[in-house]
Amino acid sequence: MNILIIEDEKELAQSMRHFLNQEGYICDVALNFEEAYENIQLHSYDCIVLDIMLPDGSGLDLLQKLKEEHSRAGVIIVSAKNALDDKIKGLNLGADDYLTKPFHLPELSARVKSIIRRRQFEGDKQVVFREIRVYPDEHRVFVNGTELDLTKKEFELLMYLIGNKNRALTREAIAEHLLGDQADMLDSLNFIYTHIKNLRKKIINAGGGDYIKTIYAIGYKFGEK
């Protein structure tokens, strides 16, 4: 899951990034309005943590741009204790949640997890596709009642595929989802084939169907025929 942290306090931004990385998220950091907007144009995010006060613009203006461009990212606005009007305006503009500084990092993680689950899977505690049952909060996957031993990347890949079932996904989109902006630095995307092959094998070996289809010269699609 990809997250963009927009926060001009560099130390706080890096603390958030480090904590969320440990929670299994891939995080980019933008320290100002211009950098944030550039990241949003170049990459797709599941959640954006948005500080309202930025040195070169307002986070609320950035939020408005996101909504005008129909961004699918969930947004958590971050504000100071005395910025009640900004919080209300942010929520009215379409933000999903807000946090008041100072806040505890585990609380931030819980809010991010809740938003991603709510947006991708309508808040379900479990995600079911035929004989495949996924528990996102626990990072556990069962096929016909048998638990799969998945790596973190295989789990993230499966969640991404199920969340976009019956859609053609390019290798580039999958790479960006798994690695964030680090994907741009890769010389080859062959690692995706390896993850796909291993995930498909584990599902089939547990008695599941072969739902991952290769689309020549494009990428992959998850779903029934």
> Which CATH number fits the domain that encloses residue 202?
1.10.10.10
- CA torsion 31-34-35-40 (nearest 10°) is 120
Mean pLDDT value across residues 15-40: 92
Total domains, the chain: 2
**Are residues 135 and 126 in contact, defined by beta-carbon separation less than 8 angstroms?**
yes
Residue 30 and residue 94 in one domain: yes
Mean model confidence pLDDT for the chain: 88
> Which CATH number fits the domain that encloses residue 51?
3.40.50.2300
In this predicted structure, what is the pLDDT of residue 124? 59
Residue 14 and residue 30 in one domain: yes
Residue 6 and residue 105 in one domain: yes
**Boundary (domain end) residue, out of 93, 118, 143:** 118
Residue 95 and residue 133 in one domain: no
Residue 65 and residue 49 in one domain: yes
Kindly report the pTM of this predicted structure: 0.63
Task: Compute how many other C-beta atoms are within 10 angstroms of the C-beta atom of residue 151.
Answer: 12
**Are residues 74 and 46 in contact, defined by beta-carbon separation less than 8 angstroms?**
yes
Residue 154 and residue 178 in one domain: yes
Note the pLDDT tens digit of each residue in 82-139. 677 887 888 888 898 888 888 889 889 888 887 877 766 655 578 899 999 999 878 8
**Boundary (domain end) residue, out of 56, 85, 118:** 118
In this predicted structure, what is the pLDDT of residue 181? 61
Buried b (16+ CB within 10 A) or exposed e, 119-129: bbbeeeeebeb
DSSP 181: G
Q: Cβ neighbours of residue 222 under 8 Å, at least 6 residues apart?
A: 161, 162, 164, 165, 166, 169, 211, 212, 213
Residue 129 and residue 179 in one domain: yes
> What residues make up the domain containing 76?
2-118
In this predicted structure, what is the pLDDT of residue 42? 87
**Boundary (domain end) residue, out of 86, 118, 150:** 118
- Reading the block at residue 5, the tokens are 């942290």
Residue 49 and residue 136 in one domain: no
Mean pLDDT value across residues 156-181: 84
Note the pLDDT tens digit of each residue in 175-216. 877 877 666 677 788 899 999 999 999 999 999 999 999 998
Residue 90 and residue 150 in one domain: no
pLDDT confidence of 54, banded at 50, 70, 90? Answer: very high
Residue 89 and residue 128 in one domain: no
**Using CA atoms, how far apart are residues 137 and 195, in angstroms rounded to an integer?**
21
**Using CA atoms, how far apart are residues 130 and 216, in angstroms rounded to an integer?**
26
Query: Would the CA dihedral through 173, 177, 180, 186 be positive or negative?
Result: negative
Residue 109 and residue 161 in one domain: no
